[in-house]
Chain A
Amino acid sequence: EAGVVQSPRYKIIEKKQPVAFWCNPISGHNTLYWYRQNLGQGPELLIRYENEEAVDDSQLPKDRFSAERLKGVDSTLKIQPAELGDSAVYLCASSLDQGVPLNTEAFFGQGTRLTVV
């Protein structure tokens, strides 16, 4: 079974440019997460989807970040415009949640390492 697939693995862009990340979750997983992991830190949740609905986007900087999950499968995360402080690893994860407890096991992709110069 294929795991969570993210692309690209690495991205270097100049500040003020737009960038997009793509995530293909494990087949059948209804919940999808985007996390940001700064250097030397643990992952921080940006947004969580249940199917195509964003149920928790309280940590998403909405002035420059946007995300979508069309048809409740693949997802894209966009930053426009990027700032130097956005340099981080962006992780996508998915899980099959069928009730309490939520988040019992999330499967993570390898991440996209973004460098803004």
Chain B
Amino acid sequence: AQSVTQLDSQVPVFEEAPVELRCNYSSSVSVYLFWYVQYPNQGLQLLLKYLSGSTLVKGINGFEAEFNKSQTSFHLRKPSVHISDTAEYFCAVSAMNRDDKIIFGKGTRLHILP
């Protein structure tokens, strides 16, 4: 079975500063990896996904993530955050199996400080 650990429940960062949200996964098989964002009182929206190929994945809103197989990590980064990035961010994993489901982490709340 797969599992996801998001090491930080909350991350405060000043506006225009860079941010990294950490995600580690556990799996005995190859996986697909995702980052979703949830704005207040909204559903989840896909930020980016890693399926195969280049380990550096670029997503919407200036976010990117890097897949590191040896460290079983998929950290999310943004070089300069904006107040509008205030949200909950979820890392998720799915085994490379047609019948497997997505497993979500507990989420990291990003607080943008003025």
Contact = CB atoms under 8 A, between A and B. Distances in A.
**A and B bind:** yes
A109 B99 contact: no
A105 B49 contact: yes
Interface string B51-90: 1000000000000000000000000000000000000001
A108 interface: yes
Contact of A41 (B43, B45, B107): B107
B42 interface: yes
Contacts of B104: 42-44
B34 to A, nearest CB: 8
SS of B interface (majority): loop
Interface of B: 4, 9, 32, 41-46, 49, 51, 90, 92, 94, 96-102, 104-107
22 contacts: A40-B107, A41-B106, A42-B105, A42-B106, A42-B107, A43-B104, A91-B43, A91-B44, A93-B44, A99-B98, A100-B98, A101-B51, A101-B94, A102-B98, A102-B99, A103-B94, A103-B100, A104-B32, A104-B49, A106-B46, A110-B41, A111-B43
